[in-house]
Structure 1
Amino acid sequence: MPPKIASFSTAKGKGYGVVTDSGIIDLSARHGEVWPTLREVIEAGALSRLAEEAATMTPDLALSDIRFEIPIPMPEKLICVGVNFPDRNEEYKDGQSAPSNPSLFIRFPRSFTGHDQPLIRPPESPQLDYEGEIVIVIGKGGRRIPEAEALGHIAALSLCNEGTIRDWVRHAKFNVTQGKNFDRTGSIGPWLVPFTDEAQLADIKLETRVNGEVRQQDRTSRMIFSFRKIINYISTFTTLVPGDVIVTGTPTGAGARFDPPIWLKPGDVVEVEADGIGILRNTIADEA
């Protein structure tokens, strides 16, 4: 299993480190003055080196002592790809073939929480839905990045539950921003896995479960827009920088597609799992 590098908080503050079965190796205690968060670690190109360094260390903290946070605390950009699996495109029943370019939208960091933290259902709507997705984190910035070079710009992989308030994505004529940005309706984590080669992404299974029941399942080899294409396309109109987070699309099977729809409710447990990355788990709670 590749190293797992997480952002966390304790009673003493926030940090980052390597997650092991027996606890957390606190890398921020050793390197925090130089690199305050994983964003700066990635910008310095030091993620894999710190993981290798930790291989000879013993844990400093018990897992019970920490709270998982989203891996990149304040990314400059958090860009999401919509409709990126063939069956997901067919859900729209509009008779249109897959689009030639990705559909994109922006989320704010505050709309996400960490692994094992509750996703919050707001009082404005009961229509909280799940979307399991793979996350790529940019390590090497650039503009107009060629597809052939795109994977060299990835620092790490993670997972996302791109939780959505469904009726709020239809409040206006053509945007989804409102329904995608309620505080703590989504999650990212549980950690970062350093990216090493294309085999990590080429044909891995992505699965979402609600209370143990499989709701979404597909493979990255079936994505309409490859990871290379996504990076190439986004970098055409905006400069990607280290620490930028790209959420790459969800398979069919979200709760909105059931008849009648099945919305998440307090007490539900949602798990997003991908080969070689891990399991992102969250419960559901109503906003206090």
Structure 2
Amino acid sequence: MTRARLVSYSRGGKSGYGLLRETGIVDLSIRHPEWPTLREVIEAGALKRLVDEAQGLPADFAEAEITYEIPIPAPEKIICVGVNFPDRNEEYKDGQAAPPNPSLFVRFPRSFTGHGQPLIRPPESKQLDYEGEIAIVIGKGGRRIPEAYALSHIAALTLCNEGTIRDWVRHAKFNVTQGKNFDSSASMGPWLTPYEDEAQLADVSLETRVNGEIRQRDRTSRMIFSFRKIINYISAFTTLVPGDVIVCGTPTGAGARFDPPIWLKPGDVVEVEAEGVGVLRNSVVNEEV
């Protein structure tokens, strides 16, 4: 079954959003000026309404005419979970069991680019790495959300290549912020898949490929911290609001873990795929300075 695919895009110098169908894009933003982006659609609780509305409408233009943007262009928060698969914890070789609570850090929207757009390797470092992940988008906000009800706060799913400049995450004694926030070093998309039921997250295959070679593969059923736990834990210290994005962790197999490490280089193509969500694809280029 093909689930609904809601895309954010630019076309002709203007931003918009719509439903991707086999025949092209149904432009929903022009029909709903009251909601400038998908963030406002989610805040209004109108994702399902828009999907239903688009079913009876013809495509307004071809997919080839758009440039994909990140699905939520200006979320209040992008919070990322580190070390959330068993083998990732073992990669650290510190002899320690997985911690009782998730490791977290934040990213800025500008550090992400859309599906089909190049990841930018900056001149400051050649250590650009990939991390394929599933991301959840909050639909119903809240504080101290109980685990039992946590999944009802999800509006949609998307994918993330949580690109990292490895040597910059070790520049100081206690930080990862710099290496996680170089402009356009990561990607998100291609679209939002509306969340409907727990089966969409319970045991999903997640895979990352570089130039067609499988580098990462695991299943969400093996996550150390479940989606329920992640939402519960984060909402204990900050109020989640509609449109917030939570990036939920990557399997083992990032380039830094090879001996010697294998960094992304210009011309490489990275694909992140999850069952029922889609494939996020990006090439790699050097930054022009």
Give the counterpart letter for 1:9 in structure 2. S
Corresponding residue of 1:128 = 128
Q: CA deviation at 1:225?
A: 0.1
- 205-214 or 51-60: which moved more? 51-60
Shift of 1:76: 0.3
Match of 1:78 in 2: 78
Q: What displacement does 1:21 show?
A: 1.7
Task: Give the letter for the 2:41 counterpart.
Answer: V
Determine the C-alpha separation between the residues in 2 that align with 1:12 and 1:269.
Answer: 26
Deviations 1:72-115 (A, max 9, x none): 00000000000000000000000000110000000000000000
- Identify the residue that residue 11 of structure 1 maps to in structure 2: 12
The 3-state SS of whatever aligns with 2:31 is helix
Code of the residue aligned with 1:240 in structure 2: it is: L
Post-superposition CA distance 1:146-194 (Å, at most 9, x none): 0000000000000000000000000011110000000000000000000
CA distance in 2, matches of 1:279, 1:79: 21
Q: Which residue of 1 aligns with 2:92?
A: 92
Measure, in 2, the Cα distance between the counterparts of 1:36 and 1:276: 27
Distance 2:52 2:132 in 1: 29
Residue 54 of structure 1 and its aligned partner are, at CA, apart by 0.6
Question: In 1, distance between residues paired with 2:85 and 2:4?
Answer: 28
1:28 partner amino acid = S
SS at match of 1:273: strand
Per-residue deviation, 1:22: 1.8
User: What is the deviation of 1:12?
Assistant: 3.9
Q: Do structure 1's residue 253 and structure 2's residue 264 form an aligned pair?
A: no
Report the equivalent of 1:200. 200
| Corresponding residue number in structure 2 for 1:213 | 213
| CA distance, structure 1, for counterparts of residue 12 and residue 48 of structure 2 | 27
Moved over 4 A (4+): none
- Aligned counterpart, 1:188: 188
DSSP-derived class of the 1:201 partner: helix
CA offset digits 1:120-163 (Å, max 9, x no partner): 00000000000000000000000000000000000000000000
SS of structure 2 residue aligned to 1:151:
helix
The equivalent residue for 1:153 is 153
Take 2:166 and 2:8, find their aligned partners in 1: how far apart are those partners?
A: 29
Structure 2 segments unaligned to the other structure (5+ residues): none
**Given residue 225 of structure 1, which amino acid in structure 2 is its aligned partner?**
F
**1:28 alignment partner, SS class:** coil
Length-normalised TM-score, structure 1? 0.99
Answer yes or no: is 1:30 the counterpart of 2:31.
yes
For the residues of structure 2 that align with 1:215 and 1:150, how far apart are their CA atoms?
31
Structure 2 CA distance for aligned equivalents of residues 286 and 84 of structure 1: 30
TM superposition shift of 1:58:
1.1
Matched residue type, 2:22: D
Matches within 5 A, 1:96-111: 96-111=96-111
TM-superposed deviation, 1:52? 1.2
Q: What residue in structure 2 maps to residue 232 of structure 1?
A: 232
In the other structure, the counterpart of 1:112 is 112
TM-fit CA distance, 1:56: 1.2
Report the count of equivalent residues.
287
Where does residue 2 of structure 1 map in the other structure? Answer: 3
2:287 is matched with which residue?
Answer: 287
Identity %: 77
Q: Which residue of 2 aligns with 1:179?
A: 179
Bigger mean CA offset, 51-60 vs 251-260 = 51-60
In structure 1, distance between residues paired with 2:175 and 2:26: 42
Which deviates more from structure 2 when the two are superposed, residues 265-274 or residues 58-67? 58-67
Query: CA offset at residue 276 of structure 1?
Result: 0.1
TM-score by length of 2: 0.99
Q: Secondary structure at the match of 2:134?
A: strand
Aligned to 1:169: 169
Q: Deviation digits for residues 232-285 of structure 1, max 9, x if unmatched?
A: 000000000000000000000000000000000000000000000000000000
Q: Which amino acid aligns with 1:74?
A: A
Name the CA distance, whole Å, in 1 between partners of 2:200 and 2:86.
Answer: 21
Distance 1:107 1:121 in 2: 17
